């Protein structure tokens, strides 16, 4: 008698089902990681813009401003034409001096030639993700608040 070699239809369907479940789990993890990586990139870009503005104020001996449009989720640096955009679902909040917020919901962080700044705190939130950027008014130092565990 000759024995049959190969796989039955049930075995093939079972393997295909396991592969589909595996790809679904990977897809969910990639989507979550994508939001996390976009958040980190946005925070890194804002940190860079703030540090650049501080450096420009020190080098040029002129006041430099980072203006953050809270309504449009975008920001600019005073001596550059580029507008930096944040994701529309990201929530941006600022703690700044009252004089630095205008009627169009644009908050400003000023860096002065002596190294100081108007100071403040910028919080970026996206779903469960949140990062806080602190700007020291005396030294103008820009730092990211460490994650709390």
Residue 147: the pLDDT is: 59
Which residues of the chain carry a pLDDT beneath 50?
A: 149
Answer whether 72's CB lies under 8 Å from 36's CB.
Answer: no
Residue 110: the pLDDT is: 97
Q: What's the domain count of the chain?
A: 1
Q: Which domain holds residue 78?
A: 9-144
Answer whether 77's CB lies under 8 Å from 64's CB.
Answer: yes
Number of H helices and E strands in the chain, helices first, is: 1, 8
Residue 149: the pLDDT is: 45
Nearest to 108 by CA among 75, 149, 133, 130: 75
Partners of residue 111 on adjacent β-strands: 64, 117
Sign of CA dihedral 24, 25, 26, 29: positive
Which residue has tokens 């403040």? 120
Domain-located, residue 3:
no
Residue 31: the pLDDT is: 59
Domain-located, residue 108:
yes
| Tokens found for residue 124 | 């970026």
| Tokens found for residue 10 | 């049930």
Residue 35: the pLDDT is: 83
The string of DSSP letters for 17-59 reads HHHHHHHHHHHHHHHHHHHHHHHHHHHHHHHHHHHHHHHHHHH
Query: Does residue 119 come out as left (phi exceeding 0), alpha (psi in the -120 to 50 range) or beta?
Result: left
Domain-located, residue 72:
yes
Residue 44's CATH number: 3.55.40.10
Domain-located, residue 86:
yes
């Amino acid at each position: 008698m000759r024995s049959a070699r190969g796989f039955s239809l049930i075995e093939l369907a079972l393997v295909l089902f396991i592969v589909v479940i595996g790809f679904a789990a990977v897809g969910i993890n990639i989507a979550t990681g994508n939001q996390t990586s976009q958040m980190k990139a946005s925070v890194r870009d804002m940190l860079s813009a703030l540090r650049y503005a501080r450096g420009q104020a020190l080098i040029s001996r002129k006041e430099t401003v980072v203006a953050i449009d809270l309504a449009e989720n975008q920001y600019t640096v005073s001596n550059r034409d580029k507008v930096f955009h944040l994701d529309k679902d990201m929530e941006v909040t600022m703690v700044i001096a009252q004089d630095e917020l205008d009627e169009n919901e644009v908050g400003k962080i000023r860096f002065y030639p002596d190294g100081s700044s108007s100071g403040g705190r910028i919080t970026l939130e996206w779903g469960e993700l949140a990062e806080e950027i602190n700007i020291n008014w005396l030294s103008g130092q820009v730092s990211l608040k460490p994650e709390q565990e």
